[in-house]
A and B are shown apart, each in its own frame.
Chain A
Amino acid sequence: MSVAVSNPIPVNPVEKYLRMERIPHIWCPGCGIGTALNAFIRALDEAGFEPDKVCVVSGIGCTGRVAGYVNLDSFHTTHGRAIPFATGLKLANPELKIVVFSGDGDLIAIGGNHFIHAAQKNMDITVICVNNFNYAMTGGQYGPTTPISAQTSTAPWGSYQAPFNLPKLAESAGAVYVARWTTYHVRQMKKSILEALRKKGFSFVEIISQCPTLYGRRNKFRDGITHMEWFKEHSVIKDHPIPSDINLGFRTETIVGKFLDIERPTYLDAMNDRYQRIREEKGV
């Protein structure tokens, strides 16, 4: 080990994108949000965007802390309003690359309506949703993504409401790029985020994450590794499956992959086209 001591430890390549004075972050040991952030930063580095032209918007929750840790222009919005803020940012300054990085409770529960409307308008933003199956920051209450029969602090006998199928929701609302990976699939996740960043239009990446402190502890995934090993054994990679077949159940196999990659005019393109045509017709 004397070799390692003699050489000074070089700087981790992700550090230039992080506010190092705020690290270590608040996420629990074994949490998957750090892995998701790590993949996002590496994808951003590979994409080669100018850091001044990238904005990260987050909502509230564990994943909502991402905006505070990245060394980019970032905004920590109120609960559920990350996508409206990102929409405004994009319309005011179309040059910017907008990334919404938030959790399932923020994007799909309270911000669900904004999510489907941004997808329907095909706003040119990238949405990365870290799905940990519960409201982790407030104590592990069940949410719209909790699978049936999973235990949470407010569902001690198991949840009984059908969960949202996020890729199906995004696809049917009108997203142009939809992918889902677990925190085990780091390389694929990084590649998907890179593709989503380069895609023009509403691109959506769902990252299924473990939550060892709240969700995992109540559902026999006693630590992060146990849950990741479970992801490893029970994930099936499928490209372009039928959307209704990719529902997430409790301890059933998880279908991951790139589900959709199509072209559709974005909101700004459609608006500019329309006004251009009207101007030509009126001779203005």
Chain B
Amino acid sequence: MEKESTTKTPPKIKGEVFIKKERCKGCGFCIQFCPSKVLAFSKEFNEKGYHFPEAVNPDACIGCNLCGLYCPDFAIFSVREKKSK
């Protein structure tokens, strides 16, 4: 019983992140401050020559929208998925 209580339960909250890559200026705030480390710089460039973020670990997103609050260019935001239950 004790062992069960100490094991980490998987996150129940799920979210989805949306990125508008053509608006990004590559400051990297969303990547740096994402609490569940969902994002990373893409190897590709956008039209203006910036590396935009992409979701490398989309299943970890909890939809806290911290990326959306940090983004100075309104290029990214996340939403919490509604529970199917």
Residues of chain A at the chain B interface (Cβ within 8 Å): 1, 3-4, 9-10, 12-15, 18, 23-25, 27-35, 37-39, 42, 184, 186-187, 190, 223-225, 228-229
What is the CA–CA distance of A202 and B28 in the complex, to the nearest angstrom? 35
Chain A CB within 10 Å — which of B29, B54, B68 has the most? Answer: B29
Q: How far is the CB of B61 from chain A (nearest CB, A)?
A: 11
Which 10 residue pairs across A and B have the least CB separation, nearest first? Answer: A34-B72, A29-B25, A186-B69, A30-B27, A29-B27, A9-B18, A35-B72, A225-B32, A12-B77, A224-B27
Given the interface pairs A12-B68, A38-B69, the reply to whether A224 lies near B29 with Cβ below 8 Å is yes
What is the CA–CA distance of A186 and B33 in the complex, to the nearest angstrom? 11
- Does B26 reach chain A (CB closer than 8 Å)? yes
What is the CA–CA distance of A34 and B74 in the complex, to the nearest angstrom? 8
- Asked whether, in the complex, the Cβ of A12 is within 8 Å of the Cβ of B20, the reply is yes
- Asked whether, in the complex, the Cβ of B74 is within 8 Å of the Cβ of A14, the reply is yes
- Asked whether, in the complex, the Cβ of B18 is within 8 Å of the Cβ of A15, the reply is no
Given the interface pairs A10-B18, A23-B23, A228-B29, the reply to whether A32 lies near B72 with Cβ below 8 Å is yes
Residue ID in chain B nearest A186 by CB atoms: B69
Q: Which listed residue, A3, A13, A15, A34, touches B71 by the CB 8 Å rule?
A: A34
- Does B55 reach chain A (CB closer than 8 Å)? yes
Q: Which listed residue, A23, A31, A187, touches B69 by the CB 8 Å rule?
A: A187
Known: A29-B26, A34-B72. 5 other contacts (CB 8 A): A9-B19, A24-B73, A33-B72, A38-B70, A228-B32
Offer 23 A-B interface pairs, CB within 8 angstroms, sorted by A. A1-B55, A3-B58, A12-B74, A23-B23, A23-B73, A28-B25, A29-B25, A29-B50, A31-B27, A34-B73, A34-B74, A35-B29, A35-B71, A35-B72, A38-B69, A39-B69, A187-B69, A190-B69, A224-B28, A224-B29, A225-B27, A225-B29, A228-B33
Given the interface pairs A225-B27, A228-B32, the reply to whether A38 lies near B72 with Cβ below 8 Å is yes
- Asked whether, in the complex, the Cβ of A23 is within 8 Å of the Cβ of B74, the reply is yes
What is the CA–CA distance of A137 and B84 in the complex, to the nearest angstrom? 50
- Does B38 reach chain A (CB closer than 8 Å)? no
Q: Which listed residue, B50, B69, B70, B74, touches A18 by the CB 8 Å rule?
A: B74
Given the interface pairs A10-B18, A12-B77, the reply to whether A38 lies near B28 with Cβ below 8 Å is no
- Asked whether, in the complex, the Cβ of B20 is within 8 Å of the Cβ of A9, the reply is yes
Interfacial chain B residues near A14, Cβ < 8 Å: 68, 74, 77
Q: Which listed residue, B25, B54, B66, touches A186 by the CB 8 Å rule?
A: B66
Residue ID in chain B nearest A17 by CB atoms: B74
Q: Please report which residues of chain B, range 29-68, place their CB below 8 angstroms from some CB of chain A when the two chains form the complex.
A: 29, 32-33, 50, 54-55, 58, 66, 68
